[in-house]
A and B are shown apart, each in its own frame.
Chain A
Amino acid sequence: MALSRDEITEKVREALVDALGVDEDEVTPEARIGGDLGAESIDYLDIVFRLEKAFNIKIPRGDLFPDNILSSDEFVQDGKLTEKGLGELKARMPHADLSQFEQNPNVQDIADLFTVDMIVRYVESKLGGEEG
């Protein structure tokens, strides 16, 4: 049976509360995983494990949080994503809202794309994809 968006949001919230030790009311849709909820590098893996368990899905490395776009000169120049880099990011993160970011694609702002809402949309697409 397909989960509603509210049900997905609730389970994502639970995963983040358990992984990051934050309060439920801090986990708003627009909250940034790093900037607002204080996630550090190992926490992203913790979140992935919890989502896999909660939704019975497989999340390959780099699928939810792309991890090697920034290491390429082709994609990054002078601290900003190139056109090609932006294209790559869009392809790798179809679940993220890049509309604001692409106006000024500073590398250091990429982490701000990782929001609660992005995770919910990722899970939604994952569940939809597997059913279809």
Chain B
Amino acid sequence: MRWIWIDRFVEFDRGRRAAAVKCVSLAEEHLHDHVPGFPVHPPTLMIEGMAQTAGVLVGDVFDFKEKVVLAKVTRATFHRHVGPGDRLRFEAEVQGEVRHEGAAITGTITSNGDLVAEIELMFAHLDQSREPVEPGEGNFVFNEDFIRLLRMRQLRDLASNGPSPDA
């Protein structure tokens, strides 16, 4: 299993906001195990989904050269259960701007227009002067899976801006 809790970026405004979607499916093991007999998508994984949406938004500002880590879940309020068949929309917005020290994010999760959760997160950039990183170690935060998610979005944009098949 891969630790990716969003399926696709649907909006990406560099350094300001991003939106991603996730379709919850009964094919996912955790839905059966979390509350047996009552399949729900756990709120903790929705926080993770928001952290991934927002983390890519923050990391992109410095071209994924900084190691962006989730430093604080300032607030997370959940309003309803989410189950199989739901399509979640994660919207993350940068408060102010992404700074060299880190960033604050406010986010909402909706499903079919209904408010599911309100989440505020803080991200920090790991200070490389204090945490020496071996050359060539790479960025352990942004592995290929996340970069690919963003590239998929860019590729779709390119495709949709091209000549339509009907033209």
**Nearest CB of B to A38, in Å:** 12
- Name the interface size band of chain B: 10 to 19
Q: Is B72 an interface residue (CB 8 A)?
A: yes
Q: Is B77 an interface residue (CB 8 A)?
A: no
A46 CB contacts on chain B under 8 angstroms: 72, 74, 104, 122
**Nearest CB of A to B115, in Å:** 19
Q: Is B45 an interface residue (CB 8 A)?
A: no
B window 60-100: CB within 8 A of A:
71-72, 74-75, 95-96, 99-100
A window 53-88: CB within 8 A of B:
53, 61
Contact A45 B122 (CB under 8 A): yes
Interface flags for A36-48 (1: CB within 8 Å of B; 0: not) read 0000001101100
Q: Is B39 an interface residue (CB 8 A)?
A: no
Q: Is B101 an interface residue (CB 8 A)?
A: yes
Q: Is the interface of A mostly helix, strand, loop or mixed?
A: helix
Closest A residue to B100 by beta carbon equals A61
**Nearest CB of A to B52, in Å:** 19
B43 CB contacts on chain A under 8 angstroms: none
Q: Is B124 an interface residue (CB 8 A)?
A: yes
Q: Is A49 an interface residue (CB 8 A)?
A: yes
A42 CB contacts on chain B under 8 angstroms: 71-72, 102, 122, 124
Interface flags for A94-126 (1: CB within 8 Å of B; 0: not) read 000000000000000000000000000000000
**Nearest CB of A to B82, in Å:** 25
Q: Is A23 an interface residue (CB 8 A)?
A: no
B104 CB contacts on chain A under 8 angstroms: 45-46, 49-50
**Nearest CB of B to A57, in Å:** 11
Residue of A43, A50, A53 touching B72 (CB-CB under 8 A):
A43
Seed contacts A18-B75, A42-B102; 19 additional CB < 8 Å A-B pairs: A18-B74, A21-B74, A42-B71, A42-B122, A42-B124, A43-B72, A45-B99, A45-B101, A45-B102, A45-B104, A45-B122, A45-B124, A46-B72, A46-B74, A46-B104, A50-B104, A53-B96, A61-B99, A61-B101
Binding site for A on B (CB under 8 A): 71-72, 74-75, 95-96, 99-102, 104, 122, 124
